[in-house]
Amino acid sequence: MPLLEVVDLRTTFTTPAGLVRAVDGVSFSVESGETLGIAGESGSGKSVTALSIMRLHSRRTCSHPTGQILFEGRDLLHAPEKEMRRIRGNDIAMIFQDPMMSLNPVFTVGDQITEAVRIHHNRAKGAARERTLQVLRDVGMPDAERRAGEYPHQMSGGMRQRAMIAMALSCHPKVLIADEPTTALDVTIQAQILELVQDLQEKYQTAVIIITHDLGVMARLADKVLVMYAGRAVEYGSVDGVFYDPLMPYSWALLRSVPRLDGDPSARLLPIPGTLPSLISPPAGCPFHPRCSFAEDRCTSADPVLEEKRPSHHAACLLSAAQFAGRKSRADEELEASCE
């Protein structure tokens, strides 16, 4: 049984313009010690999926998510709020994308981390404080004792991000959800943080879900990749399968739109035309067809489902694996010829 399994998750928001289907039938699983990467453009539903797992959406605008979120066999969507408070931060922790909005501005960083340790691990104040200082040192916080006494506004963006990561790691969670965990960090500290996450994973067999626009980070950390578009899962498979032999035009276009160190330095980048569709009134058929280079007439009416096209490699596309491989190859040849 997977440590965490999400089945047909659907999350909607009520707005004056209509119902926003932010997450529309997403399914995936992650085992202990495994890393799942979630990729996609901004607005594709990645962060909403993560917040749905934690049940942190505002009840005023978000309807109760449907589907199943099974943690150690227990459906979190039907767990009482008291149980969720015990699970959040202890069993399932999250590194939020914007630490300035996530840290409490009226408490010091050290007090906030210490509170989490005391609540979940029932430690004395002194022991909890020592754990706080240790985890701040682990994430590369200089002069940890002094920084622990500072408020979030007294820190730089990178310092706040490290404090947010320290809080998430302080209780040794079984599942760590990292939403753009290294956005505000320079490359040196980024490497240290990623190494820390990997060390934690190896030591405690932590399952990691990482959401990032940095495909290089994802390629380094992830075992499996879920590609999302317009609130849906459009490709799901091993990191090698998705990155080196994608089966969905959106995944291929996403990879062609960013530079790669292991690719041809003279290769031209291929931007994805257009923008994400409305999640209130998405286009009929395949939601990606208005931007797809390989779209056919049937793509405007038939809605593809996520299906297994190769062993353990799923994609939502009307084209077969062989058809897409042929068109992808011709497109690559045409692009190389135009660069000569």
Which residue positions in the chain have pLDDT lower than 70?
184, 260-267, 335-340
What pLDDT does residue 313 have?
96
Q: Is 114 helix (H, G, I), strand (E, B) or coil?
A: helix
What pLDDT does residue 210 have?
95
What pLDDT does residue 63 have?
78
pLDDT of 213-254, one tens digit each?
888 888 888 999 999 999 999 999 999 999 999 999 999 999
In DSSP notation, 189-201 reads: HHHHHHHHHHHHH
Give the CA distances from residue 186 to residues 39, 161, 267, in Å, rounded to whole numbers and listed in that order. 21, 11, 27
What pLDDT does residue 101 have?
82
H or E stretch at 244: helix 239-244
What pLDDT does residue 196 have?
80
pLDDT of 30-85, one tens digit each?
999 999 999 999 999 999 999 999 999 877 778 778 999 999 999 999 999 999 99
- CA dihedral in degrees (184, 190, 195, 201; nearest 10)? 20
30, 36 contact by CB (below 8 A) = yes
What pLDDT does residue 261 have?
65
Angle between helices 109-121 and 157-169 (to 10 degrees): 10
What pLDDT does residue 53 have?
95
